[in-house]
Structures are given as C-alpha cells and as structure tokens.
Structure 1
Amino acid sequence: MKKAPAGADGPAAQASPREAQASAPSDAPYRTLVESVQDYAIFTLDVTGHVSSWNKGAARIKGYTREEILGKHFSTFYTPDAVARHWPDAELKAAAELGRFEDEGWRVRKDGSRFWANVVITALRDPDGKLIGFGKVTRDMTAQRRTAEALRQSEETLRLLVEGVKDYAVFMLDPAGNIVSWNSGASYIKGYRRDEILGRHFSVFYSPDDIAAGKPGRLLEQARRAGRVEDQGWRVRKDGSLFWANVTLTAVYDESRALRGFAKVTRDMSERRRNEELERSSQRMSEFLATLSHELRNPLAPLHSALAAMRLAPGNPALADKSLSLIERQVTHLSRLVDDLLDIGRITSGRIELRTGPLEFNEVIALAAEAARPSLEAKSQRVAVQTHAASIPMHADRTRLVQVMQNLILNASKFSPAQTTISIVTAVQKRTLLVQVIDQGRGIAPQSLEDIFNMFVQESRPGTDVQGGLGIGLSLCRALVELHGGTIAAASAGPGMGSTFTLRLPLPVAHEAATMQPPHAAAGGQASIVLQAQRILLVDDNRDAADSLAMLLEMCGYDVTIAYDGVEALHVAPRCRPHIALIDLAMPGMDGFEVVRAMRGVAGTGQTRYVALTGFGQPADRQQSERAGFDAHLVKPVELETLFGTIARLQRPE
C-alpha cells in the first residue's frame, strides 16, 4: 500500500486549530457585546425550550447565575397560571411558525417576585432552514407599566370626576363645533341625554337671535385665536326654556399644535342672577323707603312749626296768614307725593284709565306752569314758552297731561340753579307734537339718560342729594305719555350742561277732515272710490287708540269694524270680511301673532291683507312679524300718510 502524498488527505493536510480560527470569522466581539448588556436579558433556548446561554442582563433581571439556570426550561420564569395554561409552549410554537413572537406579561424572578416584561422570541435556524433553537430577549418594563398605570388611573379618576359633576356641563367639541363628549352635569343642566346630543352642533343651545347673529361661530373663532373665551348670556334647554349661563370655551391642541377641538364648561347662573336682581330690587326699595321717609318728614316739620307759632300768637293776623300759606304749600306737596305713589300703583297694576276729551295744549302748559309756580318762585326761576302756534288742539286726558308737564317743570326747577330760565318749546313734525322742556341745570351723565325713567331711580344716592325726591316722577311721566301713544326721552351734553326732555304726542286730524283726502285720491276721483270701498278690521286692546284711529279712518271713507281683543276679532271677521286687518301685536291673552295665524282659517278672510301695529320697529321685530304672516309692519304712533300709503299698496293687485 502506497502512502498518501503529504498535504493530501492525512493529518498533515488538516489545518491547525489556530489556522482554523484565523481563517473563520470570529464571533468573539458579538459574544462580548451580548454578554456585557445589562438592561436586557439576552439568552438562547434549545428546540425544547431549555436555556442554553445566559448574559449578565439576564442574571441581573431574573436573579439566576449562569450555573443555576443553564439546562433549565424557560417556563421557570412564568407564573403558575401561565404554566398551567401552557403559555410557554404556545409562545415557542408561535415563534417557530411565524419566525418571531412578541408578548408582554408578568414574569417571575428567582426570589419569587414578579416584574412586567416585554419579551421577544426569535426562531434560530441553520443554513438549511432547520430549527436549532430560539433567541430570547426580555426587558423589565415594571417602572414604565407603573407610570402608565398611574396615568391611566389618573385619567380614569379625572373622567369619573368630570362625569360625576352635576353643577357644571362639561363636554368636548370637535374643531367644527360638534359635540363629542357629554357629562351628567350637561344632561342635568341642558336636558339632553348623551345619545340625543352626541354629534350635534353646539349652536343648538343658543337662541334664534344669537344664531342669526353668528354668535356660536364667533365664539369658536375667538377661542381659536386667544386660546380661551368666556361669555355670559341666555342659553336654551331641550324643552325650550331659557337659563342664564356662564360659559368658558377653551381650545385644545395636540403636541404638534394641531387643533383637536374645544373644551366647553357651562354653569347655570339663573338662580344667582335672580338673587342678584332681588338684591338690587331690595336695595332699591330700601333706598326708596328711606327717601320716602325723608320726603314725608320734610313737610311735616314746617307744618308742626307753623301750628306751634299760631298757637303761641293766636291774635297775630300777619303770622296766621304766613303760617296758613306755608301749611297750604306743604299740604299740596304731601298730596302730590301721595298722588304720585297711587298713580304708580295703578299704572303698574294696569288699573289706570285715561279720561280723554278735546283740549288745548297751550292751556295745558299754562296750567302746569301755574301749578309749579310756588317751587319756581322759591328759587326765583321763570318759565319761557315758545309755541309754534296760538292753538294746538288735541284729544287727550287734560289732567294727566298737566301732571306730566308739571312734573317735567318741577324736575327742571329742582336740578337748576336759582334765577335761571326753564324753556318750553313746541313744534309739529307731520302728525306729532314735539314738546321740549329745557333747563340750565346740572345735566345728566350719559349712562343715566335711560335709567332715570325707571321706577325709584335717582341719579344721586338718597340722602346725598339736597334736591330730594322719590324717584318716581319721571317714571310716572313716561307711563302717562305712553298711555297716550307718545314717547319721552332725555338728552344732555353731560354734567353741568343742562338737560332737555323731549315729549312726542300724536296729533288728531279731526279739524282737517273736511279737506283731507287719502293719498292718490285727487287724480280724477278713481282712487278715492276704490279706497272708500275698503273694509278694515281694527284690532287693539287700547280702546282710546282704537276708537280714535277708527274715527279718522271712517272720516276718510273706510268701513271700519273694531275688535278690542283677539277673540273678538275672530268672532267679527266672518261678518265684516275685511280687506285689511290692522292688528296690535302686544295684546293681553291673545297677542297679534296668534290672531293673524288664527284668522287665516276663518271664513271670509281669504283675501285679507294683514298689517302689524306695534311700538317696536327694530329689524328683528319686522322680521318676526313677516315670519308670522303680516304683509306690512307699522310702528306706533303711525303717521296717517304712511298708513294710507300702506293700505293703498296692499289693495293693489300684485
């Protein structure tokens, strides 16, 4: 047998261990890297799940030394319940089938303590694809889980807190304003269940006027720009009732500053608002009673003194005359105080009635000035009247108009220096008499120009104003003027600049009836014949206003039927079959809106055109009457030219 050549197949031909190590890639650096990692447990399992390698991180996290754990099954690290349900075997099976399996759960250390682990098991295969074991990486996530659990509990606590709040409506809106969350307080305050309101726009809580004005969208935009906006106002519940709300709207952004939506907190402040109103009313009443006591005691003191003087000197005629004059003035003053109080009571309870008749307004001014003469003479003041005409005939309550003018003169005298002049100027604008009472007194602050007409209100606090007064004179003036269908307003350039009170009263046209014709009646007489054929139903609960307007319309050729309330209007409409229905809006019981809706179903009103009569003339008021079905909207006091023009327009075929 021949020997094989050297370097062929014999031992001499095999590489030495050093040469083999040098020729193959060394895995020593990788072993060193894995071995030194301490934040992760990195080890291998054989195909049956027994531990075959172990790094320092595994020893630190799980508590076993290399010698203690090598060869043991990795189920050692699992809780008894996980072992009982064969969860370790299931993990290996999943890793073998999928190549990789990840899990989180409780694991057990050598000392029996538990930790929350993130586990990744990777199947290891040889170049031929044969499974040779598993690589396992475990990370201790206990601290992170504890933090996450604390956050979750905090969020849950906050959610339960928000959900349990009953005094506040707390909910979320998406960026468009749609509701995405709803707490029990929101249900309690606004009346909607969660399933009824989620997904709806939050404008459902606002009044029609607020919606028309774009308030909901404006609040969202303000919150978007400023981050937060606060508002107070009336809001609407599910049942349509209103409540006074304090609302906070806060924009919510994510980490990238993208708008996530809005947090909305609403509180029902109705009770607080009522309490504040009651408190203000109580304070005002207390101030009024204090003033009333002061005003009643003031005349009692000179009365007592005058009577005592007369008793001490019974035979002194000069003293008796002086005392009697003083007593007469003070009794008159007391009588006026009592009369004003009684009149206010009658007006507020709706029991006052005007006793109208023909009068001369220049005579009213003269009577009022004469009644105010003692107060004027006490301060050496005079009244200067500049009238536009020698005669101003009217149809009104003489006593009440004298009362109004006397109050205005006394008010001007009270707040004007001695030896000044109070001017009264009259003028006519169309069918309205303008009367101005102008003084040179202390003036009125701009914020008080409207308040001074409120009950028991004075610009100065009671007890600090040497002029005194109950604070009801101007309120009484306004009420009496409005009963006549007029208006009263105050103007002033400011404190120390004097004041002007402007009175507007409707003028009658009875003295012009012989020559007056409705518009368009002069052209050949044709339009006049058509107008005279018009049947008009006049509906107004103010009998004097209805009777006087009916008289004017009849004098101009109209056939007028009067109804003093809505029910009567529905009763007479089928009989009179009106072409035009003039309807007052503010009537007790059945208002004008209800009347026009009901009349559309009444026989004989198929061709009727409806005109609203009201003291309100804002755009929103006109829109409301139009929506109710009125064909025209006229503001009291109505100018006759305007009224005739409206009737003529409505009678023309469209």
Structure 2
Amino acid sequence: MGAPILHQIIASDAMGMLLGDPSGRILDASDSFLALVGYTREDLEQGHINDGALTAPEHGHKDREAAVELRRTGRHHPFEKDLVRKDGTRVPVLVSTSYLGGPEQLCLRFIHNLTERRRSDEAQRRSAELEAERAMLIAELREADQRKDELLTMLAHELRNPLGPIRNATQALRQSGPKGELVERLRDVIDRQTTHMARLIDDLLDVSRITRGKIMLQRDLVELNELVKNIVYDYRNELESSQIEISLSLPDESLWIHGDGTRIAQCAGNLLINAQKFSKKGGRIHIELRADGEMSVLSVEDDGMGIEPELLDRVFLPFTQATQNLDRSGGGLGMGLALVKGLIELHGGTVHAESKGRNQGAIFTLRLPRAPAPTRREEPPLISPAEKRRIVIIEDNADAAESLSLLLSMGGHDVSTAATGPDGIDLVRIERPDVVICDIGLPGGVTGYDVARAIRAWGKKCTPYLIALTGYGRDEDRKRAADAGFDVHLTKPIAPSALELLIAEWTTKIDKQPESGRLG
C-alpha cells in the first residue's frame, strides 16, 4: 500500500489513526486523534508529538510488549492504556496496530477512545458497590429490626403478665365483691383501662405494621354516647385534679358507628389529654357529640394556649409539639395527635384542628360515618356451677395463677396449679384434668410448648383441652402453639367471659362424645 493511499485513509478521519515508525515518531494522524490528545496539526508537522511520549509512564511496558509481538507477527493484540494529553490530563484508549513494512518500516495504529466505556464501567462498578452497600445496610437493618422485635416481644410479654391478674381480680370482685353503683363504676373503669392497656401493648409488639399504617381494626357496632360518657368519666378525676372544668354535651339520639371501640376511645382520650396538657389551672374543656347528617361529630374544645398559625398545618404529624418550657410540663412525644389522625382515617373519618392563635384555645373535631342501630343480640352463655370440670393451671406468675384459679373456682370448677413445666406435667398425670391452661414462658428449661408436646405424646390416654395463655401474641407464636399440640392460643390478658365461653364450647362438644378423653 503506497504512502499517498495511507495518507488518504488517515485524512478520511473515520476514527483515531496515526502513521508512525519504529522510533515512535508520528508521521501523520487523523484529526480525530489530534483532537483526542489535544495537539494541533502544526504540532504534528513540527515533530512535537511522539507516540511513546504520549503513553502514560506506568503503561510503557505495554508498548514494549506490543512492539515485540508486532515485529514477530506483523500485528499485536489490542490493549488498553492511558494517553497523556497536551494539557496533562489523561484519556483511556484501546490500541491496535498493523505492521506495514517497507523501507521505513511503517506502522498503522488505530486508537479507540474508551472514555465513555470507562465511565460506563465506573458507573457499573459504583453501582455494584452501592448495591453491595445497600445489601449490607438492608442486612444490618433486618438484624436491628429482628433485635427490636425480640425486645418488643419480651417487653410485651412482661407488660401483659400483670394485666391478667388485674382483669381476673376485677371479675372476681364483680361476682362476689361488694355491691353498689360506685363500686361497679370503679370496676368498669379498671376493666376498660386494662383492655386499653392490652391493646396498646399489642400495637407495641408490631411497630412495623403501625408505621406502615397496617393496624388491624376489630370492628363492631359502637354506640358513641356511652363511649364518650365513659371516656369523660375515666379522665374526670385527672382533669379536675388539674383544676380544669370539664363539660359534656350529648345528643338525645343514639349515635352508632361501625368501628373499633377501643381505638375510638383511644382517640377521644388522646384529645382530652392533649387539651389538658395545654390548659392552665382554672381552664375549661368542653366535649360535644352531635349528629351531622350521615356523620357523627365529636369535638373537644379548650381555652388553653392555642396553636400558632405556622404549626396548625403540621399538628397531626408525628413528633410535632407546641413550644414548651424547659420543664416540659406538657410532656409527651408528640405522637398522640398523629395516632388520632391515622386511626380516624382508617375508620373512614376525618380529624380537623382549629385555633385563632396563641392563648386563644383550640378545637379538635372528629367526624365518623354513622351506622344503623343494631338488632338486639344475646349475651354469650357462661359456665354454670353444675358444669364442673377439672382444670390444671401451669403458670409461674403467682398472682396470675392465684387470681385465675380463684375465678374459675368461683365458676364451680375443680382447679389445681403448678409453677413449672415438670411440676405441671406431673400434676396433669395425677389430676387427670379436662382442661389445661398453660403459660409458655415457664422457668426451669421446660417451656409451655414442651408441656403440650409431653401431654400429646401420651396419645389417647390423655386428651385434655390444651389452652396456651401467654404474653406472646405474634402470628408465629400462635403457629408454634398449634404445632406443639395446643387447641387454642390466647394472649394475656384474656377476658374471663371469653375463657368461660371457650370452656363452655369445649364442654358442649366433649359431652356429645362417648368418652371424655381423660387418662385411663
């Protein structure tokens, strides 16, 4: 191939090309190559460009290896290197060369700019690094979340344990304690607040569902007049001890909604406590329940410190609080109103705040869809003393065991208790009970699951009704209980009437069978 043709090919500027000799001198180059390295054609013509000088120092060995291969075979394998541009910056390139021979031993070199590919490679490398970092972060978050769940599970279990004896004692007092309207109302307060506490613990156990807005509502027909009266009664002493006057306005008609009564009570209670926090001594709080077409409307109005205009739009956001003094007399975490908003919206309702400004008081208004009044429902049947059953309670909490034993004995049952798994297994073997109520977290290395498996291993010799009564209330806890052989899993604190109903239902079924399934 003649030199004129070579120069024509290079002048076509189809890509970065250069014509050189073994010394590294560049005899000709395409405009694309010159632009790539930042030199002008004048620089080229004056001999200021040398192929070897353009190569980054650390890549010089690549040029030498390629020269050896070129002399041996007439070409070399393409390789990558960095070229140093006239301004000192670098550009990555892919180099391939053909040996043309002739008296001048010319070489035709092709230069491919790899900048975009390097960027792409770098982007992919960085993406891979970010993905690895993301995977590591997710793993750390999952581990932290698991530790949090374990902590909350343990905490919920410990908090639930005292609620069982409280509820059992309340029911025992209801059956055989002192009578009177005041005593009955006080027992109702204890019972309602125990229920509320139990439900709040359930929320604590599953924080991830709360943050994702996946709280499960236990819907039923709820009469708001009675609910609001009970809430006001529950909080009246606390409000009056703060020297705050409270007034209540209720409609003549009953207002029903289809919702979760405990959650609605929680919302109303949060609004009352919020009003109390930001009211001064001698202040007033007015609660009004009324009908507005197809909606039930509950408003809580106070004459306290009010809400600044700039805070009004954010008052229902988590952790939002009005300005407080250093003593934080208002207290709280700023979660109450956010919970109200989330729960009311889950019921298909709305919540709204109004205030004319600082020291002008505030009005919080809940609006909930009304529901038709229910038809009369029969109360669930209770166990009668004549339906006597042998029951074994296996529970390490002495108060829980004693109060539940007392309550069931008052129902006419023959009750025995054990405080550990091994003692419980021995007691079941001796007493031959119809029903076994067993805690899960027992001391001594033998859990409630172990107790259930041991009893079920006896086969037809012993088939009591096994009830797991525990502070562990996750779905996986229920599955473990069923797998171990429990017939039912109950989360503390269980309503005594619900426990009686379970035993009554089992009694009805077992009495229809030829044999009771006791130890033979």
TM-score band by shorter chain is: 0.3 to 0.5
Give TM-score scaled by structure 2 length. Answer: 0.36
Give TM-score scaled by structure 1 length. Answer: 0.30
Q: Which has the higher contact order (CA 8 A, sep 6+)?
A: 2
